[in-house]
Amino acid sequence: MISATETRSGKGHTDENFPVASRLIQKQYRAPILAFYDFVRAADDVADHATLTPDEKVATLDALDTALTGQGPTDPEAEPLRRRLAERELSPRHARDLLDAFRLDARKNRYADLDELMDYCALSAMPVGRFVLDVHGEDPQRTWAASDAICAALQIINHLQDCGKDFRALDRVYLPADVMARHGAVIEDLGAERASPALRAVIADLARTCENLLEEGRPLLHSIRNTRLALEIAAIHRLALVLAKGLQHRDPLSEKVHFSKVGFAATTLASAAAMLLRRGFSARGTA
């Protein structure tokens, strides 16, 4: 059986579309979050490997699972997170949910409707936000639901940005079939150099869904006790809103609908500063 280390793509947390444990996060929280990210990145690379069969992918993911829970041989990709979880007495449940998402990726490459895609997001995206909140000791009752909405939006935005690449490289289509049919788009449209008008309509439709999810998740920005985590999430929320609006008018098949490094930094700093000001005024108002 091939190991997870052998499938690593070389992609790291600084290569992601949204901040991952940026310097806004306090040092004591960054280590477990980065260990979580590294484990998830290794598992994601297994699921996306170009030459492994579905059974080989699942077997490698199963090995990561048993290594993380201590029920099987140790694995260098799982051991750092296993140790961090033990140090903080945290459950591996969120990481294991993500492994289930990657098992799905190994065997499933089409989604019938938005409900089915949201079920996937419940495994592939929502556990990430929940883990970060748990690490910070935030109250699940106050934060998880809004976090879930934001994380689902981030996941779908990534799907839209990469829809052409996912189809060409992996024959994987996350755009729901019923939305495609409603706008008259066909899967083969994803293989073109430019998006057809029908596919552009699908992408815009799903981008508006992301806007709605981000609005649903907005209360999270004011529910988090840890100020620096609130700043990080405010930055992510703003980045996602800009991308969701951009995807309603731009073509991810023929152009990169991503931030430049300068745009990324400027948007992050502006949104974090605005959140800090709001928190300052709020604190004065309750003093």
Tokens representing residue 24 in the block: 């806004």
Q: What is the pLDDT along the chain (287 residues), one digit of tens a residue?
A: 788 888 887 665 544 555 565 767 888 999 999 999 999 999 999 999 989 999 999 999 999 999 999 999 999 999 999 999 999 999 999 999 999 999 999 999 999 999 999 999 999 999 999 999 999 999 999 999 999 999 999 999 999 999 999 999 999 999 999 999 999 999 999 999 999 999 999 999 999 999 999 999 999 998 999 988 998 898 889 889 999 999 999 999 999 876 555 454 555 555 555 555 565 544 433 33
Q: Domain locations in the chain?
A: 24-92+100-107, 109-279
pTM: 0.89
Report the topology of domain 109-279: Farnesyl Diphosphate Synthase (1.10.600)
pLDDT at position 282, please?
Answer: 46
